[in-house]
Structure 1
Amino acid sequence: MTIKELTPGTPPTPKNTSLSAAGKRFTSFLAGWGPARWKSLAPGLTVSALAAAAALGITSLLPGTSTLLIAIILGVLLCNLIAIPDRLRPGLNFAAKTLLRAGVVLLGYQLLVSDVLSLGPGLILVVVGIVGLGIAGTLVMGKWLGVSPTQRLLIGCGFSICGAAAVAAVDGVIETKERREVMTAVALVVIFGTLMIPLLPAAASLLGLGDYQAGLWAGGSIHEVAQVVAAGGTISGTALGVAVIVKLARVLMLAPVMAVVSVRQRRSMGASSTSKKPPIMPLFVLAFILMMALRATGWLPAVALDLSKTGESFLLAAAMFALGTGVHVKSLLAVGLKPFILAAISTVWVAGLALAGVLIFG
């Protein structure tokens, strides 16, 4: 015992352990994002950004092509033609996960709830049915085919809601361990959604649907927003306008579906699990909702919408390229035919649900 401790009137200095621990965590967080971290991310992020710019440039030169598909192809080609340096991996991994979620967040700014409500209760019910029954049917058929639970959930949400953005959202909730499954789901979304661009307008013509009904069907069936724009534009201006609104109504379902997926994931892990459980509302999904609210306020100028669309396309293209760099052709071929069969069935199932809804309520 020291003399200071024996001195009367000198109480010991209290220590706030909780504040001390919180301070250490905050300091650790800041240290993790210091110059050293950004230096490690810079090479991979630079390559991803260049690839995204190239994909957007090719799309502008070849209208109708998919930016995401081009970005994926660039990534796969790079991965299979050369050995990717290890120093690129931190940035590529960051792009494949964090930039993908950032793209989903920007997608929220493109939604106007008032546009969705203008569809009326009947068509809104149809949209809910397309998403809910689309996912459920895909999960059931995937189980029957023997497709892994994660793979069929990624495909079901991607095909029923909003393509690659929905795949990214599911991955953000369940933290998919097998990156090949995420890549496969994204590739299938792009492939089958692109096939729908010429096929759906042709089918609508054969069925004798008017422009309004054809637009409703396109918005309710096709996977990606860009694919819906391409298909609706080939029909007419009327079809394009209503197709985009219906598609955005499906995108609006992203938040509640991810909340359900998160709750199911938490329950499947059990109370005794030592693994980190996902939040009921993932942070990037909450940011998605906040961006919708920001758009509704009308505070930002009109140019902000164009910037959000460009930013979303750029971020998702960079992420798709990064995902592509992690897939070898041999490993993709090793996936087998089952996911492709499930994707075909899911496409037909979602399109059938949408057509039935259009014929009843459209």
Structure 2
Amino acid sequence: MTTSAVTPSRFGGFPSAAARYWPGVAVTGATAIAAQFLSDHYGAPAMLMALLLGIALHFLSEEGRCVPGIDLCARKVLRLGVALLGMRISVDLLIGLGAGTILLLVAAIAATIGFGLLAAKVLGRGWRLALITSGSVAICGASAAMAIAAVLPKNEFSERNLIFTVLSVTVLSTIAMIVYPILAHAIGLDARATGIFFGGTIHDVAQVVGAGFSVSPEAGEAATLVKLIRVAMLAPVVLVYSLATRNIAGPDDASGRPPLLPGFVIAFLILAAINSSGLIPRVVAEAGSEVSRWALLAGIVSVGMKTALRRVLDVGGDAVALIVAETVFLALFILAGMYLLGHVS
């Protein structure tokens, strides 16, 4: 009996679409729950656990009834998670931070992306890898990597580049969460300056929060605020990437040019605008943030499932050097800007 014959009989009570997608969605969701359990009980980053578990289950995406559901999570569910990040953003965040710090963050993002493109050219790497690594380093780690990958023209290395970037920024964020508090103490940063440094340089939100509150509540609050401003830059950066690359067709782009502004970016902006107006109750915003976290976790599980580990290992040492150099550049740029703004004595 073929796989296609087995699926309707086993899920006969479901509508045909649900019967098609349910096995893959279920296994992806179960793996995401397992990743969160490991994170909660052993302290490892949930994104890293999700990625590693997904890669270990790669065989599920090669053939069988799980394939459609895994593809759905790798595209639609992942984009839903990015869109719901907009519920974390409001104009009040921008006002509370101050114009100087906001300009520093914008300049750091632009400079890091520019540095990434230049460094990739020196190292002989492609611009796709440069854009996804520099964008993820500059903005919000794994979430930015997944959003950027959704708008870049596809080629045979697209999934490998995404997995490599998510894995790298997650590991680097964890290292930064340990090393940056020591560095901040060594150079004499006060609590607010420490928060600005953490929020402006550490890649993933969870590690920013962990590093900030490990120092003090004031540092934790400042770090979280600064990090959310960087998250707010995700939509304009993705729009610029989309505009810059939409006329470049990859070998997998059979449907022609992508839309000028992807739907998940529009949803991100709409939710941010509604949240800024105060129309979203706090409990709804918190629920949306939680749904976003789980959707991103499921998305990275499914992306991991779709990528063979041997392809990730083929990326090469120069790619590792690239993303490490981008991380160091961002940290130095933020520290230099903080000095000019008077945050560092």
Q: Fold-level match, TM-score > 0.5?
A: yes
Is 2:50 the counterpart of 1:71?
Answer: yes
Give the partner amino acid of 1:37: A
Alpha carbons 2:161, 2:312 under 8 Å: kept = no
Give the partner amino acid of 1:150: R
**SS of the residue aligned with 2:65?**
helix
Cα drift, residue 228 of structure 1: 0.7
Q: Which has the larger radius of gyration?
A: 1
Is 2:288 the counterpart of 1:308?
Answer: yes
Cα drift, residue 84 of structure 1: 5.8
**SS of the residue aligned with 1:182?**
helix
The match for 1:191 among 150, 155, 171 is 171
Distance 2:61 2:247 in 1: 41
The match for 1:122 among 73, 87, 100 is 100
The match for 2:312 among 322, 332, 347 is 332
Is 2:76 the counterpart of 1:101?
Answer: no
Distance 2:311 2:89 in 1: 37
Query: 2:278 maps to what in 1?
Result: 298
Distance 1:83 1:68 in 2: 19
Please, which runs of 5 or more residues in structure 2 have no aligned partner? Answer: 1-13
Distance 1:242 1:144 in 2: 36
Cα drift, residue 55 of structure 1: 1.5
Distance 1:120 1:184 in 2: 35
Cα drift, residue 129 of structure 1: 0.7
Give the partner amino acid of 1:90: P
Cα drift, residue 267 of structure 1: 4.2
- 1:296-337 Cα shifts (integer Å, max 9, x gaps): 232333222321222111111111111111222222211111
Give the partner amino acid of 1:73: L
**SS of the residue aligned with 1:56?**
helix
Query: 2:145 maps to what in 1?
Result: 167
Alpha carbons 1:78, 1:84 under 8 Å: kept = no
TM-score of the pair, normalised by structure 1: 0.85
Give the partner amino acid of 2:47: L
Greater Cα offset, 222-231 or 163-172:
163-172
Is 2:32 the counterpart of 1:52?
Answer: yes
Alpha carbons 2:22, 2:69 under 8 Å: kept = yes
**SS of the residue aligned with 1:118?**
helix
Cα drift, residue 175 of structure 1: 4.3
Cα drift, residue 155 of structure 1: 0.3
Query: 2:127 maps to what in 1?
Result: 149
Alpha carbons 2:50, 2:301 under 8 Å: kept = yes
The match for 1:135 among 110, 113, 138 is 113
Cα drift, residue 194 of structure 1: 1.3
Greater Cα offset, 304-313 or 181-190:
304-313
Is 2:340 the counterpart of 1:360?
Answer: yes
Give the partner amino acid of 1:253: M
Distance 1:44 1:75 in 2: 12
Cα drift, residue 60 of structure 1: 2.1
Alpha carbons 1:173, 1:278 under 8 Å: kept = yes
- 1:110-144 Cα shifts (integer Å, max 9, x gaps): 11221122211111110111111011111110111
Distance 1:305 1:66 in 2: 23
Is 2:180 the counterpart of 1:220?
Answer: no
Alpha carbons 1:192, 1:343 under 8 Å: kept = no
Query: 1:180 maps to what in 2?
Result: 160
Distance 2:264 2:254 in 1: 24
Alpha carbons 1:44, 1:87 under 8 Å: kept = yes
Greater Cα offset, 289-298 or 43-52:
289-298
Query: 1:321 maps to what in 2?
Result: 301
Give the partner amino acid of 1:125: L
Query: 2:17 maps to what in 1?
Result: 37
Give the partner amino acid of 1:110: R
**SS of the residue aligned with 2:97?**
coil
Greater Cα offset, 251-260 or 296-305:
296-305
Give the partner amino acid of 1:171: A
**SS of the residue aligned with 1:143?**
helix
- 1:78-102 Cα shifts (integer Å, max 9, x gaps): 227x886521111111111211111
Query: 2:180 maps to what in 1?
Result: 200
Alpha carbons 2:239, 2:261 under 8 Å: kept = yes
**SS of the residue aligned with 1:259?**
helix
Alpha carbons 1:174, 1:278 under 8 Å: kept = no
Query: 1:18 maps to what in 2?
Result: none
Give the partner amino acid of 2:205: V
Distance 1:297 1:158 in 2: 28
Cα drift, residue 76 of structure 1: 1.4
Give the partner amino acid of 2:97: L
Shift of the 321–268 alpha-carbon distance from structure 1 to 2, 3 Å rule, reads closer
**SS of the residue aligned with 1:131?**
helix
Shift of the 327–120 alpha-carbon distance from structure 1 to 2, 3 Å rule, reads same
